[in-house]
Structure 1
């Protein structure tokens, strides 16, 4: 062995030990640096302060438009149609003559009633004259007995009663003859005509099963709606509602609540209400089905939160409250929802801090150090 390059065993062992310690310290430093690099900062939790608010929404309920007034016109007496003055679609005014009828027997009855009336008038005038003469004569003592005077007076009263009866009979026949004319009871439109000239007509079930005319008032309509019990408290007299009709697209119409039944239908558990709808241009027609938007206006006394703040889990419905730097799941029930906001009811107080976006990742009773309240 070369004496110029000599390494002893103790020196070699020391060198190996030094290299090993150096490599261990280097790897340990690297692991420490990697561990510190993987520790990310805790992300902030978005939250908000709980306040009371007001949610206004609406519910769609079907309704039916009907004529404000509608009447079926029948003949009062049995007769024949003489002349029709209007037809389907005719606009008529109150009192306008719609048709005339004829009944020959009524003319005969009227002639007989006039004859009886004139006869009874003559009888009454005769008995009255007799009584007046006896009364004048009785002023001379002993000429007329009191009994004869009383009999003459009673006959006069009886004849007067018969005259009144004859007048009433004559008036009745005259009224029946007036029934041979059908006149409009109010302004409106003739929507049905079921007979023609020459047809036999009479009271319903006695010659005519169908009315002569059907008259409707269409410049003002009634919108009839059955409002379920849950929504009856949102409507009152003079409440304004909006509605649409499918056949007219999305054109909005307005009406005002005028009549409420004040009781619930036992079968439907709903209240019958009527809404007056102006219809001067006759755009709307009776019989149309409408979609009525019943306004559900809040009272401003309930807590309102974003819809994202509500947690629907298998355990129930919760909001996440932050108190004492910890999270707490608070059970709630929900109310109305509109435009991303929802009413909540539970053990909450104004000013409570709630998590804006609730999820099951935010555990109950977990630390909440980094909270960002907006």
Structure 2
């Protein structure tokens, strides 16, 4: 306190409003500083989070799909039960043909006739030579007989009789040879008539009236082709992994592209019982009835062996040998599943797929490819339907990498998409 000249007491303390203003200013300054520090920390954390997210590759997941039980589907080709290319055995000119392609024929029915003027002259010459030889043989036989009579009266020597007898034998042998030549030419003459070897359908005609015909047997030189299409053979190459699933007498279903929706029953006739070293597959022959002529020989088809044992059944049988508990485990681990081709990694470490665990860490799993079905790849083991598989693994992905799982887009018309529109 201080005293003025008039003895008035004056206080030295500042007014209370000044103290309040100073306090407010200090609080504001502290708030501004705190806000700046918090903002910088938040921005730093956001930048760090953004950097971490950008450092983690974004991946899409796909679930392995279990295969349908008991299905083994393979491409095949169809062939006629019997197929006979008809070649020319004599040279000449085609005189006429009687059956065109698509015509049904019976065994022995004439298909065409060949004119053979050269062969006709050869036959006439052979017959003339045979007639001369027969005359000579008849003269030699009568001469030998007369010399035998002269020998009894000792008019000739035995040497001379033997010479006449030998000449007779030689002339008779010549007759036999010339007769065989005539028979040969007559047999060739019968080949001027081209006939069907069995009941069937003419599937090819590669000649016409007046065409020059040459003796041939090379592929492509056949004049006609007759095929028995009442029953067809189906050939399919079964990969080595599935050969144990196909047995003679087993049933299969055949489908062809020109008749969508139709299924034809086929039966396994036989197997080659050997693996082709070039294709790594075993040739299997099936038979299918074609009474209605709905299937075409020479075409391609798809065969499904419905009676084939699935991979899961084989795994289950293996597990039953080792015990019920192990059997269930093996069944789950070895059940056949399929993936898109892009999910499979093939490198120096073999065939792998990249799976993601609950903490979004990558785990590379070794698998085995059982069959390539084009749009899907069947895996023989190493994966289950519950695994989360990366659809298209990025290059250089390794065990333990952390990835960011991209959420799949909502399907049109779903609840999520409807919510987004509202």
Partner of 2:160: 148
- Correspondence 1:97 to 2:113: no
Partner of 2:287: 276
Partner of 1:249: 260
| Alignment deviations for residues 342-362 of structure 1 (CA, whole Å, 9 cap, x no partner) | x999xxxxxxxxxxx9899xx
4+ runs deviating over 3 angstroms: 302-316, 333-336, 357-360
- Correspondence 1:189 to 2:205: no
Say if 1:191 and 1:215, in contact at 8 Å, map to a contact too.
Answer: yes
Match of 1:261 among 272, 283, 286: 272
CA, structure 1 residues 258+137, in 2 after alignment: closer, same or farther (shift >3 Å)? Answer: farther
Match of 1:216 among 227, 241, 254: 227
Partner of 2:128: 115
What SS does structure 2 have at the residue aligned with 1:226?
strand
Partner of 1:159: 171
Q: Number of aligned pairs?
A: 274
Partner of 1:292: 303
- Displacement of 1:241 after TM fit? 1.9
Higher share of residues assigned strand: 1
Q: Which runs of 5+ in 2 are unaligned?
A: 1-67, 320-326, 335-352, 358-366, 371-379, 389-422
CA, structure 1 residues 147+293, in 2 after alignment: closer, same or farther (shift >3 Å)? Answer: same
**C-alpha distance in structure 1 between counterparts of 2:220 and 2:317, whole Å:** 59
Say if 2:104 and 2:200, in contact at 8 Å, map to a contact too.
Answer: yes
Partner of 1:138: 151
Match of 2:86 among 70, 73, 79: 73
Q: How does the TM-score come out when normalised to structure 1?
A: 0.64
Partner of 1:367: none
Say if 2:73 and 2:302, in contact at 8 Å, map to a contact too.
Answer: yes
Q: How does the TM-score come out when normalised to structure 2?
A: 0.58
Partner of 1:34: none
CA, structure 1 residues 288+96, in 2 after alignment: closer, same or farther (shift >3 Å)? Answer: same
- Correspondence 1:236 to 2:252: no
Higher share of residues assigned helix: 2
- Displacement of 1:287 after TM fit? 2.3
| Alignment deviations for residues 218-256 of structure 1 (CA, whole Å, 9 cap, x no partner) | 111110101111111222322222222222123221222
**C-alpha distance in structure 1 between counterparts of 2:201 and 2:211, whole Å:** 22
Say if 1:263 and 1:271, in contact at 8 Å, map to a contact too.
Answer: yes
- Give the superposed CA RMSD: 3.6
**C-alpha distance in structure 1 between counterparts of 2:332 and 2:245, whole Å:** 27
**C-alpha distance in structure 1 between counterparts of 2:169 and 2:331, whole Å:** 95
Partner of 2:318: 302
**C-alpha distance in structure 2 between counterparts of 1:315 and 1:72, whole Å:** 61
More off after superposition, 170-179 vs 217-226: 170-179
Q: Which runs of 5+ in 1 are unaligned?
A: 1-54, 317-332, 337-342, 346-356, 361-374
- Displacement of 1:181 after TM fit? 0.9
CA, structure 1 residues 306+291, in 2 after alignment: closer, same or farther (shift >3 Å)? Answer: farther
- Displacement of 1:134 after TM fit? 2.3
- Displacement of 1:314 after TM fit? 5.8
